[in-house]
Amino acid sequence: MRRPFRRAAITALTLSTLLITAPQATATATGAESQTQAQPQSQPQTSTSGHGPKLYTPDPNPDALRQIAALARAGQFRDAAKVTAMIATPQAVWFGDQSPAEVEKVTRDVVRDADRRDALPVFALYNVPGRDCSNYSAGGAATTAEYQAWIDAVARGIGSRDAMVVLEPDSLALLPADCGQDDAQGTKTAARYAEVNYAVDELEQLRGTRVYLDTGHPGWHSVNSIVPRLIKGGVEQAAGFYTNASNYFTDDANSWYGKLISSCIAYVEKSSGNAADCPNQSTPRAEAQSWIDAHVRVPASRMPHFVTDSSRNGQGTWTPPAGKYTDAQDWCNPPNRGLGARPTLRTGDPLQDARLWIKTPGESDGLCLRGTEGPEDPERGTVDPKAGDWFPQQALELVRYAKPPLLPAK
């Protein structure tokens, strides 16, 4: 859990650092934030919960502020302004591992702060038992009962205020049965579905909360594979689902994957169809669209909606050097990726509720070894920070390769 920084102190530290070292950088950073909100594809819209046009910007990772100060002291004013603009962009607030009392308090603090700012907070809840199949982000509640108590605390913290919830990344795309952690009876996988359903039921009943379920990303599960998992996870009781959390697939790939999944769920749930008959993301688009036109006659208002993560997809996915690694881990701190399109509640797609920054850009994916003994990441020649820690090298790559750019051209 991050050490709490008060927003006023953060603003004062960031701006005073830039003012002292480079007066023009402050104006550039402020202009960058304005441009971030003014991108043509990122115009805000009023949320479906009746909230105003803004998404919530949480307090940044304290190490991001330290990086900004160090860049400014070194005379790298433009990079300092870019990182400042990045942390001033709306992004999700991640909770996991806190006690019920702690998570109730911090959740309540965030929704109150967001309400004062007429902004809509996005929570990424990450505490399900067996989280990440005990990999880089291992952890989570010890039992189903502990998890339910934790979800109850989150619900009390949100109360009647508005919020979007990105529920448990990897919880459905990476079931216990997928990584050899289950028994022959499938006990842990059954528990996972029960835990996700419980969270949906508890959070969706709140007045202003919308819950979205995990699908992984377009390069992972086929539509035929993920739709039955979503249905078992209770997607029909949720607002919908999300895709590309913490990954790098393009907006086009994510939106098309979302449309295919939503259409398939509607076909199964409204027309008693079979998910195996639905087109996948590998199906030629014209053929898939013809299938949707012929088989899905449900208006968008009655179909599951989706949100996507564009936090690090500005340059798309990384293609590892051919034959260089036994396990390239193309998802793990890939080099030279860029920030993607800025978050928005106006997507132009009746099925897509938002484009978000779910992953906190600048935070590491973990200790990437790419099939080697390590400890260095062989692609970078450094030891990567552990998952969730600030990664200055990656932060600079993200702001330098951002698409669209964070700042106007020189």
Choose the catalytic residue: 59, 79, 162, 170.
170
User: 406, 36 in Cβ contact below 8 A?
Assistant: yes
Torsion of CA 86, 91, 97, 99, to 10 degrees: 120
Cα pseudo-dihedral 369, 375, 379, 380, rounded to 10: 140
Closest C-alpha to 341, from 251, 256, 246, 254: 251
Sorted by sequence, the CB contacts under 8 Å of residue 26 that are 6+ apart come out as 15, 18, 19, 81
| Catalytic-labelled residue, pool 214, 309, 365, 384 | 365
Max CA distance (Å), the chain: 65
> Any catalytic annotation for residue 365?
yes
Instruction: Decide: 302 and 240 in contact? Cβ < 8 Å.
Output: no
- Beta carbons within 10 angstroms of residue 180's beta carbon: 7
Which of the following is catalytic: 59, 79, 132, 384? 132
- In 3D space, the residue among 317, 338, 331 whose CA is nearest the CA of residue 246 turns out to be 331
Q: Output DSSP code: residue 131.
A: B
Distance separating alpha carbons of residues 55 and 49, to the nearest angstrom: 12
Phi and psi (nearest 5°) for 93? -105, 120
Residue 23 corresponds to which tokens in the numbers above?
């007066």
Say which DSSP state 340 is in: -
Residue 109 annotated to the active site: no
Tell me which amino acid residue 147 is: Y
In whole angstroms, give the CA distance from residue 43 to residue 275.
35
Closest CA to 330 of 215, 220, 177, 174: 220
Our CA dihedral for 347, 349, 354, 360, rounded to 10 degrees, sits at -70
Distance separating alpha carbons of residues 217 and 253, to the nearest angstrom: 9
Strand pairing class (240-243; 54-55)? unpaired
Is-catalytic flag, 170?
A: yes
Cβ atoms 123, 164 nearer than 8 A: yes
Active site residues: 132, 170, 365
